[in-house]
Structure 1
Amino acid sequence: MKISKVVLLVMGILSIGCTACSSKKTDREENDGVTEVTLPTYLAGENVGAVFFLPHIERFNQKYAGKYKINIEAVPQASYAEKIKQLAQQRKLPVLVHSPGSGGIDVQWFRDVIIKNNMAYDLSEFLQSHPEVKENLVPESIDYCTVKGKVVCMPIAVLKPIGLYYNTALYKSAKNIQDMSMKEFISTLGANKLAFQTVDNGWTTGLFLSALIANQPGGMELIKSAVDSKLYDYTAEPVAAAVKQLQNVMQSNAASNSVGAAYADAANAFMSDKASIICNGSWMASEFDSKSKDKWSNGFKGTDVRAAIYPGNVALVNPRVYGEFWIPDSAEEKEKELACAYLAFRDSQPEIEQLILTEGGTAPAIAHYSDEFKAKQKETPVLAELAESVNKDTIFAVSLYDVMPSTIADTEFGKTLPKLVDGTLTPEEFCTELTKKAEATK
């Protein structure tokens, strides 16, 4: 499912940055003068991202009570991309849209449809007039979001290196995972199981495969080189060798429900002591808090969970991404004003700190965190462990999900995995099959 410090002070009233100074009413503005919009999002319901996002939206609504209001429309993650594409065709896009690379939104579609047709509002003036916001953003993301002088998406402020979680009551090793080679790590598994999945985008499985590739000679460089152009050939030696390792591990150390498992099933396997290890991002840490113990079973204890990056001292993270949200240029002026106010609020230091406390990560541009943040971070040791596992020698690798064409990442990769597990496809045939499907998306 589709591995990393986010922005400064909450703004008062934003106007100049969004060229939003019209006083006319819109069909999404209430009669009492409150600009009210609906935000379709997959960060709702059971989605783990809802833990931060829904209270975050409530805080925005409270801050701007009487001026702005955002209403949430929950959309299943599997349906979000198609909904946005349909709304784009109808020229009825919501005021805030999740950025490509998230929610199943195809980066190539965004480039071919949204950017090519100038459908994204240029955030350049907004960032120039709000330097306290811009200075908190990741430079590589700003560069990536800038197309022909226009900032088409709000760049990210928080990097979330992705690693894994392990249950110390089940998996034991005298050596830190990140200090092992991948071969060493696999040899320590014994009877321990990993919580894999094959449904949807095969998220937990794809993360492990990404770490396997990064540990292959030339693997990290191969994947990194495909960030901007996407990867269409999966027959290269680093990928083929990693897929062979994946097949062996899935055949011998996969949780019993892995084939046919969606993310919720993989998470359940881990939190019911049926799997010792799960690959996932820092946002899963909240699941191990006692407030979530209704999701635990079979004696699982959140206090037994530890976090680490991958063997070979590898963390999965890609700073060259399209950020979190973009604003359609077709939005009314009052709506753009609301959207810009939201983006500034989201990237204020209090909200950045809350995001990190909830989902983990690091904000490279923020030099000094608040004392309150530092104190609260100690209350969630698993997040602190993940952050501390990243050191000056850590290798930051790009995950497969950053380079696979969206249809491959969202469906075809997961759909093809069962054939790899049961031996219907050899590792070489699996790679060839992925290559054929990827080429067909061009």
Structure 2
Amino acid sequence: MGSLFEDIVSDVTESDIRVVELFAGVGGFRIGLERASACFKTVWSNQWEPSTKRQDASIIYSERFGLEGHSNQDINTVPTSSIPECDMLVGGFPCQDYSVATTLNRSGGIEGKKGVLWWQIYRIIEESEHRPTYLFFENVDRLLKSPASQRGRDFAIILASLNDLGYDVEWRVINAAEYGMPQRRRRTYIVGYKRGNYAIRKSGKEEDWICQNGIFARAFSSEAVTAMKSFEIKGTLDEVSANFNKNGEKCEFENAGFMSNRKVNTIKVSPLYNGPFLTLGEILLSEDEVPEEFFIPEEEVEKWEYLKGSKSFMRTNAAGFQYKYSEGGMAFPDALDKASRTIITGEGGKAPSRFKHVVKTPSGKYRRLTPIELERLNMFPDNHTEGSSDMRRAFLMGNALVTGVVEKIGLSILSNAGKFDDNNNLIVD
């Protein structure tokens, strides 16, 4: 490794897994992996929020983990040579516009502002002198079905591009609450491994890998509920972009699957979990710890009830066309005996809202969730986002992932990587 990175990785040993974290946010991947094991050593991270003067996420990341090895620079402008060699590349990359418009000349030729960032991942892997052994990414669950005009095309592009870079890939859509975590947050998780890696050589049948032996299968027990589907993703990336499921209405990808050499095996699975379930009520602060500004004034409760209630009425658009508008009701207040609803970026602020969480206190008052409680729903340490405004802290948690999911996947990757001590015990310190 070049002298440029010697200070950054000076405490990394041969048995460690060196991690580079892209689109790092406030460090959800890092927290989850380091909670899984001290073997995971983050040697470099990047967080840049476009069109934002104050870089809240990067500031918080630096304050929690230090400035060493952290970049607050537009990833489009970061040369691959400036990124340290790593064993694992991770990131929750933005979730739209993956279409290949012309060619893959570095990051060019891509439609949309955010999807172009997927091609920064592609560029960094492609240009790396020593490509990472493992890839670990997170995205929204609808990634498997987008866009509506070519369902599954975006995910097919991602799979094909990783295949062309020399990786086999497995994926799983995981709802954290179905495995005992305190928030109903459904996300697509993707793990890639260099082709020929020991993990794949011992995989056996594809269905066994998906449901029993694979990274996700061992981290999140499940059972198959449909028959396996198999198909190939054919053509160049441009051809995949233009033609994949061009005339199809049904999505080709189920919520679990595995791809090797452009052959896709995919199956719908259902969770098998018999452990404890953490509820919204269990993560709440006591009433006397909640600042007054989070309580809803009595005169505003009716507004909240209306916004969360069911509605059906006629509307007229700008062109004079009348249509019936309807929406179902939402729980008011939120149930305390089950996992919370998904946190969204608009969770903060005092204004009444259909989507913000509201709980009823033992004294009968209604209130919003505090930043600490939002952190707990994503399984972050208390006050991890302290230093930003309450509004921004809520926004950051709306963008974050459930770190408990990352922790369990990290343990499974570690086991698969064969990180053991002298007594042949799995290293989980």
TM-score, structure 2 length as denominator? Answer: 0.24
Q: Which has the higher strand share?
A: 2
Q: Which has the higher helix share?
A: 1
